[in-house]
A and B are shown apart, each in its own frame.
Chain A
């Protein structure tokens, strides 16, 4: 039997991750083809960020397999791992900007440190990416601590796309932005994905954003994908959990652990 010519971009099989007694991911299976944009929705604390970190190899899954371009990534180290990481860009939920470096060096970080590009050339590119996310040149010289939360998010987005990776993860790219800027960011994500032909996984609580970015949607609950399908089918999923989530209702199968007054 020979390998098919184009293995799926990202393939998850039975991915499990627990912290001590607490099981966060309990067997995630999913196959994402090249050029698709998956949006993962789900309640707070259901393990969405943990899932991305497992794919990146920042966290090591307890069991299961994660393949990128058909190659196993779980447990690989050194150059092998480096090869996978080079394909991936990530927007961290908390931005995770380097606060010892000015904004433009944050954006150009991988170009300078990872690819050894000339600082001048890298700065040009960084300024271009910053302009794309609506940040003018003077901002490039500021330090992350001098920016508002929304501006930090946009810098983090510029950093994630700066090296034009094949795979991009967006962990809540629009949380904390005003609705107009959120829509600009959504457009930007869609545009850069189309331009780069990138495969993306995004996490969001914002259904408007999900509808705009996604070609595929999956909902995580109880450590599993309880529903996954095409984005256009989200409104007729026939799944009570999904319906409750997309309509934002307190009543339904998902019970929040809060005391009602």
Chain B
């Protein structure tokens, strides 16, 4: 019994320590973000990497989520004759919840992993040491551009995801469930509030930051050869996903809890 408690306690402390190191890393990076030199070229490159190349996967995920959402809520709501609400259900779930979380998780798998692998490889091949020796701060050169790109590009992706998700719901409602197009669109617009979209975009920005942060952190601190880099990649994706789910709750609470 004591043994189990001790193990739980140790794991808990270990987790706290890891969180503390991540927060310190973020603090250092944010400190470097506001001090020159800046690397606009690198920020641009990361924005393309995150924004443009993640577009297909985010588009597909949100489109199909919107479609399945319409179908599910129709069959569910039909039991108490509330089919009319599905337009509202689709648009609210997409903007407030599904688009940011799904895009965040997708980007964590795609971008977070790639960042951890790239920076991890630079660490184990001494390229990060070489940066330092060549008078370039690795935080400014590697970490800051990724954080900026993550925090700015994910909201853009989510905005597109919102639209595609609603469009997916619309397609299913009109062509499969025989809704009236004009009425569906009106119901979509009627109950949607500005805050619904904004909260989703704020989430997206935080998630984008978290994905880039964990990717950079695990890459930066990777040890050993190829195995260490592989470990860093896995850790980056897992911790990004957990943080996204936790922060998703916190931000929802901040926006909507009365």
Contacts and interface: CB of A to CB of B under 8 A. Distances in A.
B127 A97 contact: yes
Given A94-B125, A96-B125, A88 B133 contact: yes
B179 interface: no
Given A94-B125, A96-B127, A58 B133 contact: yes
A94 B133 contact: no
21 contacts: A53-B129, A56-B132, A58-B132, A58-B133, A88-B133, A92-B126, A92-B129, A92-B130, A94-B126, A96-B127, A96-B130, A98-B122, A98-B127, A98-B131, A109-B136, A110-B134, A110-B136, A113-B136, A114-B134, A114-B135, A159-B134
Nearest to A116: B37
Contact of B130 (A98, A100, A115): A98
Most buried by A among B118, B122, B133: B133
Interface string B108-135: 0000000000100110011101111111
Interface residues of B, number: 16
Interface of B: 37, 118, 121-122, 125-127, 129-136, 141
A190 interface: no
Contact of A85 (B121, B125, B132): B132
Interface centre among A56, A86, A113 (most CB of B within 10 A): A113
B134 A109 contact: yes
Contact of A96 (B37, B118, B126, B135): B126
Interface of A: 53, 56-58, 82, 85-86, 88-90, 92, 94, 96-100, 109-110, 113-115, 159
Contacts of A115: 135
A82 B133 CA distance: 9
* 8 closest A-B pairs by CB: A114-B135, A96-B126, A96-B130, A110-B134, A90-B133, A58-B129, A113-B136, A109-B134
A110 B129 CA distance: 13
Nearest to B133: A90
A98 B132 CA distance: 12
A9 B122 CA distance: 31
A94 B141 CA distance: 21
A153 to B, nearest CB: 14
A85 B131 CA distance: 11
A130 B104 CA distance: 44
A195 to B, nearest CB: 21
B89 to A, nearest CB: 45
A92 B132 CA distance: 12
A86 B129 CA distance: 14
A110 B125 contact: no
Nearest to B135: A114
Contacts of A110: 134-136
B171 to A, nearest CB: 41
B185 to A, nearest CB: 46
A114 B37 CA distance: 9
A92 to B, nearest CB: 5
Nearest to A109: B134
A97 B126 CA distance: 9
B41 to A, nearest CB: 10
Contacts of B126: 92, 94, 96
Given A89-B133, A96-B130, A100-B118, 18 more contacts: A53-B129, A56-B133, A58-B132, A58-B133, A85-B132, A85-B133, A88-B133, A92-B126, A96-B125, A97-B130, A98-B130, A98-B131, A99-B121, A113-B135, A113-B136, A114-B134, A114-B135, A115-B135
